[in-house]
């Protein structure tokens, strides 16, 4: 997904549902100096921001990061399978 200034509740629930139904490796290099070692903890915080602030432009970068993480996991074959 491309960056957007705001996200709909449906878009948020769709990306969160994807993470909740797929098992992924916990260590991922996002490039650009960003390395996540404990993905589940990162996702927990991003889910909270996404659910409570999806219409707030201030948090659009953090919400977009959820979509970037999903895309990188798929690109790097770090999706282990469905839960």
- Asked whether residue 19 carries a pLDDT value surpassing 90, the answer given is yes
- Asked whether residue 82 carries a pLDDT value surpassing 90, the answer given is no
CA angle 13, 18, 23 (to 5 degrees): 145
Q: What is the pLDDT of residue 21?
A: 97
Predicted TM-score (pTM) of the model is 0.93
Q: Compute the average pLDDT of residues 11-21.
A: 97
Q: Compute the average pLDDT of residues 30-38.
A: 96
Q: Compute the average pLDDT of residues 44-64.
A: 96
Q: What is the pLDDT of residue 15?
A: 97
Q: What is the pLDDT of residue 3?
A: 94
């Amino acid at each position: 997904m491309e960056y957007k200034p705001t996200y709909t509740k449906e878009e948020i629930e769709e990306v969160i549902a994807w993470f909740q139904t797929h098992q992924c490796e916990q260590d991922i290099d996002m490039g650009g100096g960003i390395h996540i070692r404990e993905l589940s903890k990162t996702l927990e915080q991003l889910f909270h921001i996404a659910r409570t602030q999806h219409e707030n432009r201030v948090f659009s970068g953090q919400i977009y990061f959820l979509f970037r993480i999903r895309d990188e996991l798929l690109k790097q074959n770090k999706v282990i399978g469905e839960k």
